[in-house]
Amino acid sequence: MNDAAVPQAGEARPALERWVGWAVPATPQELAAALWAFGYFFMLLGGNYVLRPLRDQMGIAGGVRNLPWLFTATFLTLLIAQPLYGALVARLPRARFIPIVYHFFVANIALFWLLLTLDIEAVIVARVVFVWVSVFNLFAVAVFWSFMADIFSAEQGKRLFGFIGAGGTAGAVLGPSITILLSKPLGPVNLLIVAAVFLEVAVFCVYRLERAAVTRTGTPAETRPIGGNAFAALPKLIRSPYLLGVALWVSLLSFGATILYFQQANIVAETVHGAAEQTRVFASIELAVNLISLAIQVFATGYFLKRFGSGIAAAALPAVYVVGFIAIALAPTLIVVLVVQVLQRSMNFAIANPARQVFFTVVDREEKYKAKNLIDTVVYRGSDALYAWVYESLHAVGLKLGVIALVAWPVVVVWLVLSIVLGRTQERRAAEPAPAKAA
């Protein structure tokens, strides 16, 4: 709670400030930007989570054994998309390139809707949609957090990123709820249009957030392009031990998530029958994850980050895996796998992800938009593809879910230690003068 957030007048805006001040330590000057960021993330993840249950069901419908190929296709797509995005960032200011990215995704959605409605190569289009949703999920969110790391400082991030993340979680609660309620009356294909509407409203929030950020700082809008070249992301990453450490953290995040995702896919395919029932199971997982995450983000994330720092917060996620993989090894059942999935994803969204975004508040602008995007997309999905084949190889030689969990356990222990190291480095860089941070 921050006394600076208490209003001085009895009008609607001070009443809103009073409510936000109770939920998050925001100052009156930060309020508008925090609320527009909340709304932006709400709409972005609302649209995303309308699509995710459909994507997961398509993955099973295409055969669990084909998932490594779809993960690989996602990675290859990101390899192509990354330099195109880098070129856009180099040439346009953020107020222009961010809306362009989202308008492009909306155009894709419209094309998919048309092809699926006309039943043109439905099986092939369904596989393309699986890959596309996987790309969109990372790209759209990576752009969002790059924007947040650019307009908020490390200190503000620790206070506000939990609240802003709650906006995304609220949207992620609404998204699968819409899918559950409307998948039968509208049909899965028409849910694409619902997702497109969410994205267009998110673009409106981008424009308002840009204006609110200018008002908060009292400085002119950032109209200069980020600069550099389309391929600057990789050299930036390679030359920075700190960014390499963050990239390894993200790769290990993918390791845990991929192993658990395949365990979930296998056990759901074996024990839950029928596309409709499988879609409902996945939507129910999304709903449970996001309700838990929302409660933590609103009431605990800001305090946790301020009290324990980004390192301990980032370590909370691998700690869940350390316990969860032991539980799966002892009892490799549907309920245990789903409980671990819900717990790890809730911890990721509510605590670890805001901590990871704080890691990027202490790097320069080109690193925030280029190297960060490379890490959040290509490194993450490349790791997905690699670990998908690792899992498939372990499964092919006859290892069961419980044994695979034991094999994965030492890796997540290393991930936990890395989290602490990165947190200490971030705190040190945050305390350095600005030029040193950008180095």
C-beta of residue 238 within 8 angstroms of C-beta of residue 244? yes
Give the span between the Cα atoms of 209 and 123, in whole angstroms. Answer: 40
**Which three-class secondary structure string do you get for 266-319?**
HHHHHHCCCHHHHHHHHHHHHHHHHHHHHHHHHHHHHHHHHHHHHHHHHHHHHH
Q: Could you tell me which residue, 417 or 240, shows the higher pLDDT? A: 417
Q: Could you tell me which residue, 129 or 199, shows the higher pLDDT? A: 199
C-beta of residue 159 within 8 angstroms of C-beta of residue 390? no
Structural domain boundaries in the chain:
3-437
Give the span between the Cα atoms of 374 and 360, in whole angstroms. Answer: 13
Provide the pLDDT for residue 19: 64
Question: What's the CA dihedral at 240, 244, 249, 255 to 10 degrees?
Answer: 160
Three-state SS at 433: coil
Provide the pLDDT for residue 67: 75
The residue behind tokens 């605990």 is 300
Residue-wise pLDDT for 63-109, tens only, equals 667 778 888 888 888 888 878 877 777 777 777 888 998 999 999 99
CATH 1.20.1250.20 fits 3-437, yes or no: yes
- This prediction's pTM: 0.72
Provide the pLDDT for residue 242: 93
Instruction: Read off the pLDDT band of 26 (50, 70, 90).
Output: low
Residue-wise pLDDT for 112-154, tens only, equals 889 888 877 777 787 888 888 888 888 888 889 888 888 888 7
| Residue 198 exposed, middle or buried by CB count within 10 Å (0-12, 13-18, 19+) | buried
Instruction: Read off the pLDDT band of 3 (50, 70, 90).
Output: very low
What six digits make up the tokens of 413?
A: 């222990």
Give the span between the Cα atoms of 427 and 21, in whole angstroms. Answer: 26
What six digits make up the tokens of 76?
A: 């290859």
List Cβ neighbours of 147 (8 Å cut-off, separation of 6 or more): 94, 98, 206, 209
C-beta of residue 53 within 8 angstroms of C-beta of residue 188? no
Residue-wise pLDDT for 316-338, tens only, equals 999 999 999 999 999 989 999 99
What six digits make up the tokens of 303?
A: 């305090």
C-beta of residue 182 within 8 angstroms of C-beta of residue 53? no
Instruction: Read off the pLDDT band of 222 (50, 70, 90).
Output: low
Q: Report CA Rg, the chain.
A: 21
Give the span between the Cα atoms of 409 and 254, in whole angstroms. Answer: 14
